[in-house]
Amino acid sequence: MPIAVTDTKELLFQESGYVVLRFLAEDVVQHLDEVLEAIVRTLANRQRH
């Protein structure tokens, strides 16, 4: 997918109140604990605001 299209989709999600997190498939496989920690940390930060 071209970057411009991806950036546009991400912007549309953010404007609708969503948070977009991106992870490489390789990172999910090799560093799942860190990926999950990043997700939990993001959710915790969103609940504070």
Residue 3 binned pLDDT confidence (cut-offs 50, 70, 90): low
Average pLDDT, the chain: 87
Global confidence as pTM: 0.73
Burial string for 4-20 (b: 16+ CB within 10 Å, else e) reads eeeeeeeeeeeeeeeee
4 neighbors 14 (Cβ within 8 angstroms): no
What pLDDT digit, counting tens, does each position of 8-25 carry?
888 899 899 998 899 999
DSSP character at residue 1? -
Which tokens go with 36?
């999950």
Which tokens go with 49?
């605001």
Query: Which one is predicted more confidently, 34 or 7?
Result: 34
Answer whether residue 5 shows pLDDT above 80. no
